Amino acid sequence: MEPQKDTEKTTNTNTAPAPANESKPKPQKKEEKKFTLKTPKGTRDYDPFQMAVREKVFKLITDCFKRHGAVTIETPQFELKDTLTGKYGEDSKLIYDLQDQGGEISSLRYDLTVPFARYVAMNKIKQMKRYQIGRVYRRDNPAMNKGRFREFYQCDFDIAGEYDVMIPDAEALKLMTEILDQAEIGKYKIKLNHRKLLDGIFEISGVAPDKFRTICSSVDKLDKMKWVDVKKEMVETKGLAPEIADKIGKWVELAGAPMTLLTKLETEKWCDGNASATKALEELKTLFEYLKCFDCLDRVEFNLSLARGLDYYTGLIYEAVITEGEEGVGSIAGGGRYDDLIGMFGGQKVPSIGFSIGIERIFSIMENRAKVQEMRDNETQVFVASFDPLLEERMKICAQLWKANIKAELLLKATPKIQPQLKVANDKKIPFVVLFGKSEIEKGIVNVKTMGTGEQVAVNRDELVTFMLKKIESMSNNNNNNTTKDTKVVVPSDPKSETKN
């Protein structure tokens, strides 16, 4: 059938012509499309203050990584979809797929672990201790107030290669505690379990082997859901018999001090007869002894409810959580052993262990603390100001300071008054101000004012760099470079008399 034709365009011969003096209708203005200025859901901008906090945290973490001998790499922010497919279990639905570009189907990286595994396999690397900091992407339901985003940074550390049992695992856990201790996030604990122990629990409870991974994914939700809801998912959604779910429930309620719970499982023979669980307990006993040597066993909780839903984990798994003061923040770090992942890309099997710091959640904690501490959003050490319009002299002094790697600023105006210049120094909490007028230039001196104390001294201009370096070093040693209290410069009624002191 043909589409209905427009019959409204036929001429009506009975219509009277419009009067000659009648004005033509004015053309209507085209309605402008309203544009909403916002970031996409699950993302955010970072202002200078937030970036100052982030840079501080990144440096802290990077220094810890390097202290343990790690080297860094960079991988693309998107990978071939086939690289990521089949590595994350049920979480694969959270991967961001990209449009077909030239016949290659790609996806934004979900984490930094799978790209690292691809890198090791592609370059035929047998041993590597590496760290990487980069953005990853997940089509998750964001919770911005809890530090959960769709675009966020991860800070990863991994040890790939054949080593003696549990030695690299112990070092990874020790490094995690160093980072969390130095970040001063408050009290935390590292929940720890073993995938082979979980598999043993499922086998003892009567779970079919082909359901291990999907039931593991349900157990992983116990930190967010009550057992009754997890059991309901196992039974109603995943077809597990209720009596089998009840058996699992008795296991996953066990948690406590590592050696205490380990002794309980061994003494009461919970795992006797199951090879997978017995081997896991042997490895955990070795690990706990090593963690004693590293002086960090007290931060660990042996917790049989920890599952970590990603499919690629094969052995030890762990997750750090805040235990007080930051309710709802959730996991701040996690990782585990993945001995088969690199081999999935073909070639040689390379056993590996690693962890990722959930940096956004640490940022949210440290941002709140930095606001209380009035942390500066800049690192400027010296502000150069003049009482007279001496732009060229201000430029020369700044150049002199910059050449010595001293962080300095000047007001970007040719003839500014002194008050606006000092206001910049006050607002930015810059610790030192170089002050001068025409008389000081003629004498070859400048005045250096220490903002925190109000102390002001005259310095020969050719000695300014040496003087400032000593002042900055002294300030750094006293840990006063982040906050400067009572730093307002009082402008005297007679500026010329102030500069002569």
Q: How far apart are CA 325 and CA 196, in angstroms?
A: 34
Contact present, 205 and 252 (Cβ < 8 Å): no
Q: How far apart are CA 354 and CA 277, in angstroms?
A: 22
Burial (0-12, 13-18, 19+ Cβ within 10 Å), 38? exposed
Retrieve residue 224's tokens.
């967010």
Contact present, 280 and 160 (Cβ < 8 Å): no
Mind listing the pLDDT tens digit of every residue in the chain (501 residues)? 444 444 444 444 444 455 555 556 666 666 667 778 998 888 888 888 888 888 989 999 999 999 999 999 999 999 999 999 888 877 788 899 998 878 889 999 999 999 999 999 999 999 999 999 999 999 888 777 666 788 989 999 999 999 999 999 999 999 999 999 998 888 899 999 999 999 999 999 999 988 888 888 888 888 788 999 999 999 999 999 999 999 999 998 899 999 999 999 999 988 888 999 999 999 999 999 999 999 999 999 999 999 887 788 999 999 999 887 655 556 889 999 999 999 999 878 999 999 999 887 788 777 777 776 677 778 899 999 999 899 999 999 999 999 999 999 999 999 999 999 999 998 888 999 999 999 999 999 999 999 888 899 999 999 999 999 999 998 887 754 444 343 343 333 333 333 333
Q: How far apart are CA 184 and CA 372, in angstroms?
A: 15
SS3 content of the chain, % helix, strand, coil (to 5): 40, 20, 40
Q: How far apart are CA 136 and CA 153, in angstroms?
A: 6
Residue with structure tokens 């009624």?
Answer: 493
Retrieve residue 44's tokens.
């955010």
Three-state secondary-structure class, residue 137? strand
Q: How far apart are CA 124 and CA 348, in angstroms?
A: 8
Q: How far apart are CA 452 and CA 480, in angstroms?
A: 9
Per DSSP, what are the bridge partners of residue 382?
Answer: 408, 432
Q: How far apart are CA 315 and CA 341, in angstroms?
A: 12
What pLDDT, on a 0 to 100 scale, did the predictor assign at position 185? 84
Q: How far apart are CA 361 and CA 240, in angstroms?
A: 35
Which domains are present in the chain? 48-372 (3.30.930.10), 382-474 (3.40.50.800)
Q: How far apart are CA 489 and CA 177, in angstroms?
A: 43
What pLDDT, on a 0 to 100 scale, did the predictor assign at position 15? 47
What pLDDT, on a 0 to 100 scale, did the predictor assign at position 166? 97
Dump the DSSP string for 226-278: -HHHHHHIIIIIT---HHHHHHHHHHHT-EE-HHHHHHHHHHTTSSTT-HHHH
Contact present, 359 and 64 (Cβ < 8 Å): no
What pLDDT, on a 0 to 100 scale, did the predictor assign at position 486? 39
Q: What length is written for the chain?
A: 501
Cβ neighbours for 440, distance < 8 A, ≥ 6 positions apart: 446, 447, 458, 499
Burial (0-12, 13-18, 19+ Cβ within 10 Å), 493? exposed
Contact present, 414 and 450 (Cβ < 8 Å): no
**Phi, psi dihedrals of residue 316, rounded to the nearest 5°:** -60, 135
Q: How far apart are CA 465 and CA 459, in angstroms?
A: 10
